[in-house]
Amino acid sequence: MKSLLSTLTSRGPHRVLRGNLAIAGQPGVVFTPESGRGLPAVVFGHGWLTGVGNYRELLEHLASWGFVAAAPDTERGPIPSHLGLATDLLTTVDICTGVRLGDGEISVNPERIALAGHGMGAGAAVIAAGQRRVAALAALFPAPTAPSAETLAPNIDIPALVLAGSTDIASVNSNALPLTSAWGGPALLRAIDGASQNGIIEGRRALAALGAGKHQPKVSRTTRALLVGYLRHTLLDEKTYKPFTDPEAQIPHTHVIDPDAPREEESKPKLSVGTIASLLRK
């Protein structure tokens, strides 16, 4: 597993192309391998007060491993609409499946699409999955949304990967535990050692100045590897990557969490910037 994780941490074998979704009427970006028909796709929702530019390395990494990676660049303000972002995710799915990409030689298999997201984008992905069936879902450090993702989760029976930070998995800014517990299909909750909720956000951002967490390069690399491994097995059924979907697999720097296991009483958390925003959205 250590060798496999190291391999997936590095960029894949495909040369990556970048495109603009706005050409098809949806603000956002799409990254693809240089060529390929019937490719798997990942449609990704960004977190609060971020945009697609803060996930460029993640999206390029997915494309280098053979995925079409597309992300709408909307709802970037302090009081975003989670339903609006979910709608834009589904519009992006339609673009990926209905439009030939690149020079016309790149296409997506509609049966091999995953919805994914970070923070509020993870919740938006759940909302979108409740409206249209896809093959899998990946919630990276999910945060509370309105409507609540965990109230929709019991009716969604597709495979799901939930990643969380070991430092704030039980905080009010994370709904990783209730989301996984409520999920209607097979769900795997894996915590990354030493990770915080905002550690995968790339580049400079306003929230860092407010103490909302800084970029953690090691966490970003581990997250990219876990996501690629999970999706290579789930969407493509590649046996090499089965450990990434196995709750019994020992993956370095991570541990699997049972969301229904008893927990020690947590001390009352401080009210953070993310919590205030969540309350405002409600």
pLDDT at 206: 55
> Taking each helix axis from N to C terminus, what angle separates 217-236 and 2-9, rounded to the nearest 10 degrees?
100
CA angle 82–255–120, rounded 5-degree value: 5
pLDDT in tens, 210-257: 555 688 999 999 999 999 999 999 999 999 999 999 999 999 999 999
Strand pairing category for 68-72 and 36-45 = parallel
Q: What are 156's two structure tokens?
A: 């969604």
**Amino acid residing at 23:** I
Residue 199 · residue 215 · CB < 8 Å: yes
Instruction: Count structural domains, the chain.
Output: 1
Taking residue 185's Cβ as centre, other Cβ atoms within 10 Å add up to 13
Ranges of beta strands (E only) in 73-132 are: 106-118
pLDDT in tens, 25-38: 999 999 999 989 99
**Amino acid residing at 249:** A
The span from the CA of 53 to the CA of 99, in Å, is 23
Of residues 230 and 105, more confidence is placed in 230
Supply the DSSP symbol for 240: G
Give the residue numbers spanning the domain of 23.
Answer: 1-280
Of residues 33 and 100, more confidence is placed in 33
pLDDT at 281 over 60: no
75 CA to centre of own chain: 16
pLDDT at 11 over 50: yes
**CATH value at residue 199:** 3.40.50.1820
